[in-house]
Every structure is written in structure tokens, then in C-alpha cells.
Amino acid sequence: MTILYQDNDLCVIDKPAGITVNRAETTKNEVTVQDWMEKQIKEQNILFTPEQGEFFKRGGVVHRLDKETSGVLLLAKTPQAFENLQKQFKERTIKKVYMTLAHGKIEPKEGEIDVPVGRLPWNKKRFGILPGGRESKTSYRVLAYYQNPRDKEIFSYVEVYPQSGRTHQIRVHLKYIHHPIFSDFLYAGRKTARKDRKLLERVFLHAAKITLSHPTTGEMMSFESQLPPNLRELMALLTLSQ
């Protein structure tokens, strides 16, 4: 993990794609962000006991990024910081910016997707737009259109601003407007994802920026993560399009 910032209350990291955030039954043979953070807490002699409830249970992990999503991730070092940051997320005062490459030409160039997201009853690994789902909003702005010079396929390079934090929200919302994310094995369709993965072996979704109020001082802080090399390399294969 690359540490972008840390003090006595929080640790901000740049998570690489391919690392799972929370420990689970399915992560027994891999080191998760939670494992890594627990080690940091213990090495820094910070009080860490089961009596601390959710902070202890989650190893200071305040929010999640999907395994194949890279970028900025907030971690708390104390129960007080953990509760404060969770409250900020709940009240939606923490602002997040993601970068993604989506299939097709998204029009209009700016908009908001406001549809409920829920876990699919027939496939527990996937989420979708469901009448009984949880309220979810995603705003977006297309920065540029690109074209694959080989097959002339058009893509949209998009800055995305989730207003809520549902699992797979951005991925599901972009699929809903018929512009799934490049290399998204769950939502782009099997044939499309297989073709994409010849060029990029991960979902093109990157948590580029997060803005928050410091849990102790109240100071406004922003942290940014540059697009990782594998995403930049894919972009370099494409040409700008009108």
C-alpha cells in the first residue's frame, strides 16, 4: 500500500487493483487491506480491543472499494475517528471523484443517474436496478470521447461523482444507461468483457479524489491518486474522437 497521508487519527492509502478491502471467508489465502491496517495499528501501539465494536471488527476500514478498483481509501486509527468518518459518509459530506472509461458515447455530456440499487435475488454476487433497492444517485461529466483505432469502437472517458455509496453503484448505474465500464466482467456482458480483458485485466474504475473534514480538527482535506500505469497504458492505445 502507498500511504498518501497519516496522523494520529487516520491513514489515507492508494489501494492497488487486485487487493480486497475487507476480510471474509473467501479471503483466507490473501492479505486484505483490513489485515494490513490491523498490522499498522498494532505496530504503532494503538489501543485495539474487541470492546471497540465496529472499529475493531472492521480493522479501521471506514468504506470500501471493489477488489479491482484502485485509488484513495480512508482508514481510521481510533474508534472516535472511525465513528466521525462513518457519520460524514452517512450525511454525504464526504465527496468522492472516480475516473472511468465506459463503452459508447455517453450523451448528454453531463447528467445524473437516480435509480435504486439492490442485490439481485437470483445472483448474490451481482447488483442491479430493483424497485425495492436502496436509493442511489450518481452524477457524471464526460471529459472526452475516444476511439479504438483498430475496430473504431467509441468510448467515453468520464469523471463520476457518487452521491451515495451502494455496492457496485457506479458499475450498475453505467450499465443501466447502456454504457458499461470497460473490462467489467460482471456488468459489461461476457463477450464484451472477454474482448476488453485482452487489453486490460481489471475493471477501469479508479477512485481519484476524496474530500473530507478531519475527524478531530474539522479541517477540510483532499487527497488525490493519479491514474495507475495499466489504465494510462490503455488510454494511450486510443485516439481522441469527436
What is the per-residue pLDDT for 184?
97
CA gap 87, 79 in Å, rounded: 12
Does 184 participate in catalysis according to the annotation? no
Closest residue by Cα to residue 48 from 76, 86, 88, 6: 76
Say how many Å lie between the first and final Cα of the chain, rounded.
Answer: 38
What is the per-residue pLDDT for 4?
97
Domains of the chain are 2-241 (3.30.2350.10)
pLDDT along the chain (242 residues), means of 10: 95 97 88 95 91 94 96 97 96 96 98 94 88 92 97 97 93 97 96 97 98 97 97 97 90
Which of these is catalytic: 7, 9, 66, 114?
66
What is the per-residue pLDDT for 93?
95
List, in sequence order, every beta strand (DSSP E) within 81-136. Answer: 95-103, 110-114, 117-120, 123-129
Residue 173 · residue 136 · CB < 8 Å: yes
Q: How do residues 213-227 score in pLDDT, each as one tens digit?
A: 999 999 999 999 999
